[in-house]
Amino acid sequence: MAEHGVHDAASAVERHPAARVLARGGYVANGFVHLLIGSLIVAVAFGGERDADQTGAFRAVAELPLGFVALWAAAALLAALGVWHLAEGMLASRRRRGAAVWALRVSEWGQAVVFLFFGGLSAAVALGARPQADEAARDASRGILALPGGVFAIVLVGVGVAIAGVVFVVMGVRRSFHTKMTIPDGAVGRAVEGLGILGFIAKGIALGSLGGVLIVAAVRSRAEEAGSLDAAIRALLDLTFGPEIVIVVGAGLIAYGVFTVFRARYADL
Which tens digit of pLDDT belongs to each residue from 66-94? 889 999 999 999 999 999 988 888 877 76
Neighbouring residues of 163: CB distance < 8 A, sequence distance ≥ 6? 211
pLDDT score, position 233: 85
pLDDT score, position 229: 82
- Over residues 164-168, the mean pLDDT reads 92
pLDDT score, position 198: 93
pLDDT band (50, 70, 90) for residue 101: confident
pLDDT band (50, 70, 90) for residue 99: low
Cβ atoms < 10 Å from Cβ of 185: 7
- Is the distance from CB of 67 to CB of 59 less than 8 angstroms? no
pLDDT at 192 over 80: yes
What does the chain come to in residues? 269
Which tens digit of pLDDT belongs to each residue from 211-252? 888 888 777 777 666 667 878 888 888 888 888 989 999 999
Instruction: Give the CA-trace dihedral at 72, 210, 113, 146, to 10 degrees.
Output: -110
pLDDT score, position 88: 85
pLDDT score, position 261: 94
The closest alpha carbon to 140, from 150, 130, 149, belongs to 150
* pTM of the entire predicted model: 0.87
- Over residues 99-125, the mean pLDDT reads 87
pLDDT score, position 26: 95
The closest alpha carbon to 25, from 268, 265, 259, belongs to 265
- Residue bearing the bigger pLDDT, 81 or 131: 81
The whole-chain average pLDDT of the chain stands at 86
Q: Which amino acid is at 135?
A: E
DSSP 198-216: HHHHHHHHHHHHHHHHHHH
Q: Which amino acid is at 142?
A: R
For the chain, give every domain's residue range. Answer: 1-130, 132-269
Specify which of 3-12, 105-114, 197-206, 223-232 reaches the highest per-range mean pLDDT. 197-206
